[in-house]
């Protein structure tokens, strides 16, 4: 299934995308798409619904984040060897884990806002993992059993805040609008092999990133298992798993960063596309 939430910010309704690409309303069956709808049992009940019997959503409504109530928004740094190289960093021996503020989560096509005083706002196409059942100290062989599905994420970053202002990476990762998620949550049963997904990102129509999840340093199962050693993962938690090369910071002969008026388009095989316009900071 491709589960989604549509409508104005704060007023999203639950829906699904049928095989013809038509949005169908799920409001008669669930209140929303959140932690309570992500267990295997809950997803099985939704999968049993005939989409043809659901109301068609007219027009082209805004897509909101496909999951409401994300408790933890976790991220993995330098998880592609070639991205580590362009960043001037070594390939990590263990996953680098940091957090993105849940307040940065927004819909996949909502405008991206450059933070006040930013000089190095950057882009990162990433695969997101949505947890469906609580995971504590899970073995790698069992880790994917705790995954409800997968989403497309733009892990936007302010590199000066992240790398030059002291402390952790978090301050450059959680700025408002820095977490577009969606357009859909694709349930795990629809992804044959999460480690063979092509991914790409364009800025102003120029291809900047091209990659594949098969080049991750640590695969999805390894990441879920690893993170679960340090904190419990709960339904609705999201892990964004790293980016391939081609970020603005790594451009040669000199870095390229986002400015007001730029457009960003990105996608991952089977997980849909995002389209964003960059705006200047507004209070």
For the segment 153-163, the average pLDDT, to the nearest whole number, is 96
The number of folded domains in the chain is 2
| pLDDT at 170 exceeding the cut of 80 | yes
Residues 49 and 80 both lie in one domain: no
Range of lowest pLDDT (11-15, 81-85, 215-219): 81-85
Residues 140 and 236 in one domain: yes
Q: Give per-residue burial for 156-187: e unless 16+ CB within 10 Å, then b.
A: bbbbbbbeeeeeebebbbbbebbbbbbbbbbb
Structural domain harbouring 30: 2-53
pLDDT digits (tens, 9 = 90+) for 231-255: 999 999 999 999 999 999 999 999 9
In-domain check, residue 118: yes
Classify residue 226: in a domain, yes or no: yes
Q: What is the pLDDT of residue 257?
A: 98
Same domain for 98 and 157, yes or no, is yes
Residue 74's pLDDT band (cuts 50, 70, 90): very high
Give the bridge partners for 157, in sequence order: 122
**Does 67 map to a domain?**
no
User: Is the full-model pTM beyond 0.85?
Assistant: yes
Predicted confidence at residue 88, as pLDDT, reads 80
pLDDT in tens, 9-45: 999 999 999 999 999 999 999 999 999 999 999 999 9
């Amino acid at each position: 299934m491709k589960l989604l939430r549509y409508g104005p910010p704060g007023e999203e309704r639950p829906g699904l995308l049928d095989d013809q690409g038509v949005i169908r309303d799920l409001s008669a069956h669930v209140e929303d798409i959140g932690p309570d709808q992500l267990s295997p049992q809950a997803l099985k009940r939704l999968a049993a619904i005939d989409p043809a019997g659901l109301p068609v959503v007219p027009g082209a409504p805004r897509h909101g984040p496909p999951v409401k109530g994300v408790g933890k928004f976790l991220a993995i740094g330098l998880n592609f060897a070639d991205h580590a190289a362009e960043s001037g960093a070594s390939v990590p021996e263990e996953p680098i884990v940091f957090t993105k503020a849940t307040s940065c989560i927004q819909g996949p096509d909502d405008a991206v806002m450059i933070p006040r005083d930013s000089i190095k706002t950057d882009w990162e196409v990433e695969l997101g993992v949505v947890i469906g059942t609580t995971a504590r100290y899970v073995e790698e062989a069992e880790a994917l059993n705790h995954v409800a599905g997968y989403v497309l994420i733009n892990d936007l970053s302010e590199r000066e805040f992240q790398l030059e202002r002291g402390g952790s990476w978090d301050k450059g990762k959680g700025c408002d609008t820095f977490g577009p998620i969606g357009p859909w949550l694709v349930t795990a049963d629809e992804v044959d092999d999460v480690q063979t997904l092509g991914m790409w990102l364009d800025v102003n129509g120029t291809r900047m990133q091209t990659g594949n999840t098969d080049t991750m340093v640590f695969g999805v199962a390894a990441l879920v298992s690893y993170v679960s050693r340090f904190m419990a993962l709960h339904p609705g938690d999201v892990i964004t798993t790293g980016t391939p090369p081609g970020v603005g910071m790594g451009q040669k002969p000199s870095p390229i960063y986002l400015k007001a008026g730029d457009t960003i388009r990105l996608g991952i095989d089977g997980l849909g596309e995002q389209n964003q316009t960059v705006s200047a900071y507004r209070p």
